[in-house]
Amino acid sequence: MKGVPDIMMDSHCENIGVLFDCGINELGLSPETMTYYFIRSGAAKLMSTWHPRLSAGMDCMEFLEWCLERNGLNPPNILASGGISTRPEYWAGYMMAEYQWFYEHSFMEILDKVPFVKIVESYHPLHEAPEEKFYEAMEHWMGKI
């Protein structure tokens, strides 16, 4: 059974996309550090099984601040950056969330087997390809095919 209701899927994916995009590009965190914060905050576990407050009750920038605060950080006010972008890190976070939803792997399992930076590096050529190509690549990297 999928954790995220279909109607909330876009918000769920946007929150995760912005988390990685802004954490890396606005705050200068490495993909590895942002992955660590995502896991350590508890968000990876909560978002794998649908958490209404994190997936839909917060906008994407509030979600980023929530994750950073749970890691003992006092994030700068980055709400003015606007959130959603078209940068590779946003795409990678969004697509990872879609993959997690469709294939029902936890974020912990995904990020243990596929480093976030590998997903970012797949932006070219996969961001223009059908989503199924990304899912196929992820299944390969996960050792499922």
What digits encode the pLDDT tens for the residues 34-50?
999 999 999 888 877 76
Could you tell me how far CA 119 lies from the centroid of its own chain? 10
Q: Are 30 and 20 within 8 A, CB to CB?
A: no
Check whether 90 has a pLDDT greater than 70.
yes
Q: Band of the pLDDT at 123, cuts 50, 70, 90?
A: very high
Q: Looking at residues 6-31, what average pLDDT do you find?
A: 83
Lowest mean pLDDT among 13-27, 103-117, 124-138: 13-27
Arithmetic mean of pLDDT over the chain? 84
Cα–Cα distances in angstroms (integers) from residue 63 to residues 133, 136, 144, in the given order: 29, 29, 31
Q: Looking at residues 109-133, what average pLDDT do you find?
A: 94
Residues 6+ apart with CB under 8 A from 2: 101, 102, 104
Q: Looking at residues 18-43, what average pLDDT do you find?
A: 91
Phi-psi region of 73 (alpha: psi -120 to 50; beta: other; left: phi over 0): beta
Check whether 20 has a pLDDT greater than 80.
yes
pLDDT given at position 145: 79
pLDDT given at position 89: 93
* Residue of 134 and 2 predicted with greater confidence: 134
Could you tell me how far CA 115 lies from the centroid of its own chain? 12
Lowest mean pLDDT among 42-46, 88-92, 130-134: 42-46
Cα–Cα distance, 99 to 102 (Å, whole number)? 5
Cα–Cα distances in angstroms (integers) from residue 102 to residues 45, 48, 71, 90, 132, in the given order: 16, 11, 29, 18, 11
